[in-house]
Amino acid sequence: MESLKGTIVETIFRNNENGYTVALLESENELITLTGVFGTDVAGEDIEVFGKRVKHPKYGEQFQVDIYNTILPTGLKQIENYLSSGLIKGIGIFTAKKIVEAFKEDTFDIIQNNPLKLTEIEGIGEKKADMIAKSFAEQADIKEIMMFLQSHNISTNYSVRIYKEYGKNTIAVIKENPYRLSEDIYGIGFKLADKIAFSLGVEKDSPYRISSGVKYVLSEYAAKGHTYVPYGLLVNSSANLLETSAENTEDEIRNMAFTDKIHIETINSETVVYYLPYHTAEVNVCKNLINLAGMDFNISEEEVLEYLSSVEDGTISLTKMQKEAIVQSVLNGVTVITGGPGTGKTTIILSIIKIFEIMNKKVLLCAPTGRAAKRITESTGREAKTIHRMLEYAYGEDDSNLTFNKNENSPLDCHAVIVDEMSMVDILLMNNLLKALKRGTRLIMVGDVDQLPSVGAGNVLSDIIKSSTIKTIRLDMIFRQSAGSMIVQNAHAINKGTMPLLNKKDSDFYFMRENNVYDIVELIVDLYKERLPAKYGLVPSKDIQVLSPMKKGDAGVIELNRRIQAAVNPPSNLKKEKIFGKYILRVGDKVMQVKNNYQAEWKMTDNNSVTGEGIYNGDIGVILFIDETEQELHVLFDDEKEVVYSFSQLDELILAYATTVHKSQGSEFPVIIMPMVWGPPMLLTRNLFYTAITRAKQLVVLVGKEKYMEEMIENNKINKRFSALDYRLSLCHAGRVI
């Protein structure tokens, strides 16, 4: 029987009735999936497991657990964890272990009062010992907090994040209400906060606990795109999570509504519950759209057509529908332009800009992501910004609450705002954008409503179109410059529910048939590393992106990244690496930023005097080097911007040889490769497939079974999002109170 020791970094699945669990264990040497029966959710805990390795036909190597023991941190283990947390410069995991083995309970005293004794440890000289002592002194106020957190079985990585959020007030905050952790700390969910609360003696039916559980359920639905939850569904979901009665849950829901933490109302004869920020945003978006749309600009269609004729230069032949989109954008206060690839949306945007320039009107261009903003800048020759940058994002006094300097009190100075990739805009961002538009500003929203909706809550573009209250132009004719591309033709075919044309000679759209999942992944790795670069002269890390519908499974993002990394950037004595969460991060790896970090500082590699702030969700870069002494990792984004991450920030990065289709939104890549394999029906949908192939500019290669492609195209069941912007807009348009 084999044994493993390590930390549970994620619970992938847990059956609360019988305890069957699938989890990821991170040990010193590997990251492996565990399966077995566990009495409690062991996420974040240090454990020792006994069992055997097995090969699952679909999910690969796993460790089947027969027996397990939770390893409670001893005093020495807590000291070791603190020293290796990344807070003390000069000490990594292995150095921390050596120091504690040498000095045991006297470790802190040695570092603080006699640091020269550290030179007895191999690899520590006088200079490094002095660095450790100084860093230890600087972090003196953290030590007690870190030890307190570890005594309640909170992992080192989470402990660092918690301290960064609450500072010197950490212990007081957690003792008062440990459930704040699930709301304030990225990566800590309700279940982990609940375990901490239990260790602090919080009662099962505590109002704090029930309130936090209800907010957790609301936030989980928001993470799936919903702005509200039907009342009955919320009560049942919360009661099941908390293992308490529906009556207790309903009592707390009523109390939360009374204290304005949530909002309850009736929509289409159904009682629903909003977490307050989403209700406020939805109502405000509705009111502001109606106000902007009601503006009369005192200009005729004939005048606009005259302006349009003066900007046409003979090289572009606009279709009737394109001209209609341009004219309506100038005539109306709010306009939606939607269409698939190759329908001329970029040409329309450029024509609108030129007309406004002739009219001496100032236009601002923006998009939800940095990559989308960069694309529209390149295609129009005009500067485009992310919506956040345009609104001048800022932070409150505690450096945590994101706000915008541009708002109703300080609106944007312009006559028109054009938003590209509008399908990605969620309800909260839309609310902040509209607050910054003064009455009389034209708003032109351009996007593809058939793509995946926003990652954040809301169904903004779709709801606006569905309400029939805002002028909308649908583009359905492929512009002739794109008509020769099978990517464009097949995208439109898929969107209409018909099979794409495959493997046409000299095409840009190929299907490679493989039946076995192992062979599919092998071929994808070979295409990425050898075949496509050799045939087309591509640089894999820059030109090729592997997309998968799912994170897990043999053809999921996690496994694809592991396999591609092993092929193109294997372990080497010349390359440092760092194990973090699901990934081994190695110098030379392609990585992606997975959360907006508006305060991340960067410098230009060709001119260190040029600096800035902000790295965004979806930005892709390459690891330049890893500094174990300084506990830092350096990443180069866009071949020019260097960003330094402390080891405690590595939860912001993932490997990016492969990424989910959702993460690819707003981006374009020269080449995409996509596996066609089995997956959950909720992921294998037509609009996900459509979104994936429209990310490619030059080449699409699909690998796997045609039957799964057919299933995706047939599966047009777009998961319903609970949102009511269309309902509110319809009421408002009819003159009724929302």
What is the pLDDT at residue 152? 75
For position 137, what pLDDT does the model report? Answer: 78
Look at residue 525 in the predicted model and tell me its pLDDT. 96
Cα separation, 647 vs 86, whole angstroms: 6
- Contact status, residue 105 vs residue 647, Cβ threshold 8 Å: no
Amino acid letter at 202?
Answer: V
Instruction: Look at residue 399 and tell me whether its pLDDT is greater than 50.
Output: no
Mean pLDDT of the 662-680 span: 91
Torsion of CA 552, 492, 525, 7, to 10 degrees: -20
- For range 449-461, the mean pLDDT: 92
pLDDT attached to residue 417:
98
Is the CB of residue 618 less than 8 Å from the CB of residue 371? yes
All residues at 6 or more sequence positions from 165 whose CB lies less than 8 Å from its CB, including other chains: 184, 185, 400
599, 202, 262: which is closest to 401 by C-alpha? Answer: 599
Average pLDDT score over the chain:
87
Q: Which segment, 301-315, 600-614, 619-633, 699-713, is predicted with the most confidence on average?
A: 699-713
pLDDT band (50, 70, 90) for residue 395: low
Mean pLDDT, to the nearest integer, of 102-117? 84
Q: Are strands 577-580 and 583-586 parallel, antiparallel or unpaired?
A: antiparallel
Residue 578 β-bridge partners:
585
Closest CA to 35 of 61, 7, 58: 61
pLDDT at 39 exceeding the cut of 60: yes
Does residue 197 surpass a pLDDT of 90? no
Q: pLDDT grade, residue 499 (50/70/90)?
A: very high
Q: How confident is the model at residue 57 (pLDDT cuts 50, 70, 90)?
A: low
Residue 72 pLDDT greater than 70, yes or no: no
Give the pLDDT of residue 707. 93
111 versus 328: the higher-pLDDT residue is 328
Q: In angstroms, rounded to a whole number, what is the distance separating the alpha carbons of residues 142 and 122?
A: 27
- What are the residues whose beta carbons fall under 8 Å from the beta carbon of 729, sequence distance 6 or more? 286, 289, 290, 463, 464, 467, 469, 470
Pairing outcome for strands 442-447 and 334-339? parallel
**311-327 CB burial, b ≥16 within 10 A, e <16:** beeeeeebbebbbbbbb
Q: Are 8 and 43 in contact (CB under 8 A)?
A: yes
Parallel, antiparallel or unpaired: strands 31-37 and 60-70: parallel
| pLDDT band per the 50, 70, 90 thresholds, residue 703 | very high
- What DSSP string runs through 362-405? -EEEEESSHHHHHHHHHHHSS-EEEHHHHTTEEE-TTS-SEEES
> In 10 A of CB 54, how many CB atoms?
11
The two structure tokens encoding residue 622? 């390459």
User: Is residue 397 over pLDDT 70?
Assistant: no
**650/626 Cα distance (integer angstroms):** 12
Per-residue pLDDT, averaged over 299-304, amounts to 92
Q: Which H/E stretch holds residue 52?
A: strand 46-56
Q: How confident is the model at residue 133 (pLDDT cuts 50, 70, 90)?
A: confident
Mean pLDDT of 260-282: 95
Query: Percent of the chain at pLDDT above 90?
Result: 48
CA atoms of 320 and 353, how far apart (whole Å)? 19
* Higher-pLDDT residue of 296, 397: 296
How far from the centroid of its chain's Cα atoms is residue 76's Cα?
Answer: 37
pLDDT in tens, 569-598: 999 988 998 887 777 899 999 999 988 787
Distance CA 653, CA 465 (A): 35
Predicted confidence band of residue 737 (pLDDT cuts 50, 70, 90): low
Flag whether pLDDT at 398 surpasses 50.
no
Question: Would you tell me the crossing angle of helices 427-435 and 276-293 to the nearest 10 degrees?
Answer: 50
Task: Retrieve residue 169's tokens.
Answer: 């007030």
Helix (H, G, I), strand (E, B) or coil at 672: strand
Best CA proximity match to 445, nearest among 329, 327, 570: 329
pLDDT at residue 140, as a whole number: 66
Counted residue by residue, the chain has a size of 738
